[in-house]
């Protein structure tokens, strides 16, 4: 198994660290900025004997070093600044993504590709269209992150242990994300049965604004510890063929009533990538939320030159 992480910024380097130190695979860390990936890779290797893993990481700016990758994680792109919406990155990062796809496709035919670059759902769609890789092998990391953020907001609102909380957020990775309350539970009970309307409204609002909140604290750059954890969870599902169900941005072919679009939905992930898309029963309000998410994504996709 060979894993390549493209983009050696905070998200990419931290993702590489998590994957390396878990011993999942040898890693290639690539960044077009000369020396950045090499320096971070060498720094991570200095820690190998302290952590106690036997894997290796190679830092490079040359796409030929990615040859034979089983999994490619794309984190390359511009990060948000305070006051900036993810959607504002569309023009800048679409050019980055086109360049990335051209680079890795020269040396890799059909790798599994996990996209992290924002705006997530649109960039995942662009990778799929540009690479012409089977859609089940191209998917985006966001639902894991948003659901984990909602778990924390529920914990803070209700003072319940995180281990008892299982939230589900679908739709887009943005303002039109869709918290699915009918499948969000606390200690096996529906969230709506144990939380009042005010608490639920607060949880949803804070979940949606969580990324922007962290950006405002950092001043420069955006969140990376939690996004890298989402990457790790998804990559591990592929490497270990766990067949676990995780929310991620998937290409839909009629599921939930949508076609030819990437949207956050529950998916069974294994060695082949997206092994199955799980269609959960959802209520009318949740269907409307997914519809709004789909409309937002289509509007942004229309701005791409495909």
**Residue 90: its pLDDT value, please?**
87
Classify domain 2-140 by CATH number: 3.40.50.720
For helices 284-301 and 120-131, what crossing angle results, to 10°?
60
Catalytic residues: 173
Q: pTM of the predicted model, to two decimals? A: 0.96
Q: Does residue 81 carry a pLDDT above 80?
A: no
> Measured between alpha carbons, how far is 1 from 49 in angstroms, rounded to an integer?
22
- What is the CB-side half-sphere exposure of residue 48 using CA atoms within 13 A? 16
At 290, the pLDDT band (50, 70, 90 cuts) reads very high
**Residue 180: its pLDDT value, please?**
98
Instruction: Tell me the sheet residues that pair with 140.
Output: 115, 249
**Residue 86: its pLDDT value, please?**
67
Q: Does residue 288 carry a pLDDT above 70?
A: yes
8 Å CB contact between 159 and 301: no
- Nearest-Å Rg of the Cα atoms of the chain is 19
> Measured between alpha carbons, how far is 77 from 74 in angstroms, rounded to an integer?
9
Element (H, E) at 12: helix 10-21
Q: Does residue 148 carry a pLDDT above 90?
A: yes
Give me the mean pLDDT over the 42-53 stretch.
97
Residue 4: closest CA among 124, 103, 129: 103
> Measured between alpha carbons, how far is 83 from 13 in angstroms, rounded to an integer?
25
Rounded to the nearest 5 degrees, what angle is found at the Cα of 191, between the Cα atoms of 252 and 145? 45
Tokens of 90: 């569309």
Residue with tokens 């695979």: 25
> Measured between alpha carbons, how far is 69 from 223 in angstroms, rounded to an integer?
26
Name which CATH class applies to 143-301. Answer: alpha beta
At 203, the pLDDT band (50, 70, 90 cuts) reads very high
**Residue 304: its pLDDT value, please?**
85
Strands 2-6 and 71-74: parallel
Tokens of 226: 């939690």
What are the residue boundaries of the structural domains of the chain, listed by start? Answer: 2-140, 143-301
Give me the mean pLDDT over the 219-247 stretch.
96
């Amino acid at each position: 198994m060979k894993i390549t992480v493209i983009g050696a910024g905070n998200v990419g380097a931290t993702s590489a660290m998590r994957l390396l130190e878990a011993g999942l695979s040898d890693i290639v860390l690539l960044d077009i900025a000369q020396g950045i990936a090499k320096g971070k890779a060498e720094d991570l290797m200095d820690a190998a004997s302290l952590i106690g893993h036997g894997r290796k990481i190679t830092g490079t700016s040359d796409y030929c070093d990615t040859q034979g990758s089983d999994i490619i994680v794309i984190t390359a792109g511009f990060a948000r600044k305070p006051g900036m919406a993810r959607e504002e990155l569309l023009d800048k990062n679409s050019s980055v993504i086109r360049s990335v796809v051209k680079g890795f496709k020269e040396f890799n035919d059909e790798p599994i590709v996990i996209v992290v670059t924002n705006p997530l759902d649109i960039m995942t769609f662009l990778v799929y269209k540009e690479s012409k890789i089977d859609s089940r092998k191209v998917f985006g990391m966001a639902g894991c992150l948003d659901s984990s953020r909602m778990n924390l907001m529920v914990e803070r609102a209700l003072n319940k242990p995180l281990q008892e909380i299982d939230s589900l957020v679908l739709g887009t990775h943005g303002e039109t994300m869709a918290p699915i309350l009918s499948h969000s539970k606390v200690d096996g009970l529906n969230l709506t049965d144990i939380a009042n309307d005010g608490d639920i409204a607060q949880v949803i609002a804070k979940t949606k604004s969580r990324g922007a909140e962290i950006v405002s604290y950092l001043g420069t750059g955006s969140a990376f510890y939690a996004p890298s954890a989402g990457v790790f969870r998804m990559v591990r599902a592929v490497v270990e063929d766990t067949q676990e169900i995780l929310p991620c941005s998937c290409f839909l072919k009629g599921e939930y009533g949508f076609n030819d679009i990437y949207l956050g939905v529950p998916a069974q992930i294994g060695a082949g990538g997206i092994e199955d898309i799980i269609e959960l029963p959802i209520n009318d309000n949740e269907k409307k939320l997914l519809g709004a998410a789909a409309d937002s994504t289509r509007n942004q996709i229309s701005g791409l030159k495909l």
